[in-house]
Chain A
Amino acid sequence: MLAVPVAGAAVAAYWLFTGHPAWLGVLVGGFAGCCLALAVAGPRASYRVERWEVTDDAVYTRKGWLTHTWRVAPMSRIQTVDTARGPVQRLFGLADVTVTTASAAGPITIEGLDHELAAELAARLTAITQATPGDAT
């Protein structure tokens, strides 16, 4: 997401503020190339590895390319359910769902869901959570 502006800024800075030495040009060009490659490949890679699943008992996510992370939170221990949509996400009709448990270890986030699905999921999670009392604190 940030890769394109960063690459653009690097190239612009090179163009405007330096005397165009060749070695710096190669360096900046390489950096910009890496950024663009990341911008193209990153979302695909994360789309390939990221998975989520919600059963009646638990919320489950998987993410990470080099380091895989699986997270599970039982329904009975969920405290809050949030949905969030940034400006870019609104452009593409997406939303994040964040599920918080009582632990300080951090919430579970399901990123980039279709926003209607996200709203529906949040409603479902809220309903299930309300039906199960207690949060084990």
Chain B
Amino acid sequence: MSWRRLPRRSLAVSAVLSLGAVVPVDVVVVRVLHGRDWTWGAIAAVAAVTAVLVVAGVVAYDVTRLRATRWRLTRERLELRSGVVSRQHRSVPRDRVRSVDLRADPVRRAFGLTVVKIGTGGHGDEGAELTLDPLPVSEAEALRRVLLSGAPAGAFLAEDPVPAGAPSREGEPLRGGETSRGSGPSRGGETSRGSGPSREDEASGERGRSWGDGPAGAARAVEVVVRLRWPWVRYAPLTVWSFAGAALVLGVLYKPLDALGVEVFSAGTAALVWGWLTERPWVTIPVVLAGNVAAGVTGAVLIFVESWGGYRLEREPGRPGAPGRPAGPYGGAVEPAVEPCGRLAPRDGRWRVRRGLLTSRSLTLDESRLRGAEIREPLLLRLGGGARVKAVATGLGKAREGETEDVAALTPPLPRAEAARIAALVAGGRLPEPVPHPAAARRRRVRRALIVAGAPAVALAATATWIRNGGAEAWVRGGGLGAWARDGAVRAWIGDGTLEAWAWGAAAAVPLLVLPLALLVAVAGYRGLGHGLGGRHLLARSGAVVRRTVALDRGGIVGWTITQSYLQRRAGLLTVSATTAAGDGHYDVVDVGGDTGLELAARAVPGLLDPFLVRGGPRTG
């Protein structure tokens, strides 16, 4: 099996992308030279030379990278050789492939390329993913099918055009490196086909027929479970970022502006702004806050539109002959048969999330790696009646540093009922109704709220008493505050009782402000608690601020951790945590009644906990 290369069109992409680096470099060059009284002609020449150097450098690096990168697909493994400085050879068994992630930014889309990331499970940062950057869209699409359908790599192996050297009838879809047809201008068939979402769709269908997994690829329809509905954009601003976002952007912008010599926060402007603010605070402060919110909301909506435009969640049926569930139940509300407990029912379809207005993203998950679904309701979204759905799957990488979006996200924020429907479909069975937890759990939360509100009050009251008894005065006289105390003002405050009055005032005011908030959080936290056991799933719900409802496949549970703190023991509660290979690694049923919790764990995975359980309480020996 010969090695494939990445397409050379990638060079054009990196040349275009490097222009992004040229702009700031040239701006700095112009500024520096202009400061030294160079003529504009000379400045332009120098700027042009720097630009060419930057682009040439990037392209040269990309040439070496492309030369260094080779990949191939054999009957058992996917292999990748890469690395300019340190060479790597990675080889992944094909049955370890759990997800395929395609991602194309506008530039790559224009060239008909896409970045392919192949998730292989494992918890390591490095070992979890294989990246092919980039592949032609058609080739990526075919690779995706071949890898996840589990079929023999038919098209890739059989129609391997390298030895033959003759172009296949589709153009030259498979000959990655050898398709040296230059860049941009002479784009091939697959390039133009990959440009629009609808046409890409057509193209992929066609690919399926021509060199996907044989006749089956065309025969079985892809079922679209949900599509973006634009009214959902109303949920987009319901995040904290809508309120903090604008200020944050200002903070981020400060650096580059500073580099350009625009002094935003100079003393002059600061005084100006401060003067404007304090002149009529009742007008200006609301204006500033409203501006902040308006900017945040606009930003949130724009991000929503970009990242979820063209969103589609679809299920591709499994390969023929495999004992899979028919596609029917997923479309309708038919409940699948109750599975024998503790065993995974065969599920062999694939779920695919497609989205992105400018940068198109596509994530395909092997259904057999799904271990359930999670419904997430952050506070603001919950108040607005919305929710999001995440996949609980093995082999999905955690969001890496600097990546803001959640890899496992299956839906944009959407109405709660819709979220519940999708979660049930993804999880593969109707979700059980959550059962509320005992009142002791509420008492715990309320007590915690009282402590949170009460502790500062007690501390402040103690301080006030200390001041009244002359402790503060003696301390300050003894040099306790250093330079401050020499000022005399502090002493005066202590002397005439101002400080004491303030302390008492704060002791009264802080709990008044904090207590309602803390109690609200406590009650919301209690109301969020719940658990349930369905034919296929263990349901766990918790969270005061972000409410998470997790339906975990009972067959995916690989153990139990049961914890009981001293206070929980006194309240007769415990926390049952199901450990699993998927998602976060463990999902907790928090503060469930002692017997209920153990019974739940024992029934969810029969036979596992029973030998260690004395009915009526955990075994002590």
Contact = CB atoms under 8 A, between A and B. Distances in A.
Interface of A: 51, 53, 55, 57-58, 60, 64, 66-74, 77, 101-106, 108, 135-137
A55 B611 contact: yes
A135 B581 contact: yes
B562 interface: yes
A102 B564 contact: no
Interface in B536-592: 555-556, 558-566, 569, 577, 579-581, 584-586
A70 B575 CA distance: 10
Contacts of A72: 559-561, 608-609, 612
Contact of B612 (A53, A102, A104): A53
Contacts, number: 93
Contact of A103 (B559, B607, B611): B559
Given A73-B559, A102-B580, 12 more contacts: A55-B611, A58-B608, A66-B565, A67-B563, A72-B560, A72-B608, A105-B559, A106-B585, A108-B559, A135-B581, A136-B555, A137-B581
B474 to A, nearest CB: 18
A43 B569 CA distance: 23
B558 to A, nearest CB: 4
Nearest to A49: B620
Interface of B: 121, 123, 344, 394-395, 555-556, 558-566, 569, 577, 579-581, 584-586, 605, 607-609, 611-612, 618, 621
Given A77-B558, A137-B121, A103 B564 contact: no
A71 B560 contact: yes
A3 to B, nearest CB: 22
B556 A70 contact: no
Nearest to A74: B608
B581 A69 contact: no
B88 to A, nearest CB: 24
13 contacts: A64-B563, A68-B618, A70-B562, A70-B612, A71-B562, A77-B558, A77-B559, A101-B559, A102-B581, A103-B579, A105-B561, A105-B580, A106-B585
A136 B581 contact: yes
A136 to B, nearest CB: 5
Nearest to B558: A77
Contacts of B585: 103-106
A68 B555 CA distance: 26
Contact of B569 (A53, A68, A77, A103): A68
- Ranked nearest first, the 7 interchain pairs of A and B with the lowest CB-CB distance are A104-B585, A102-B581, A105-B586, A73-B559, A77-B558, A103-B579, A105-B579
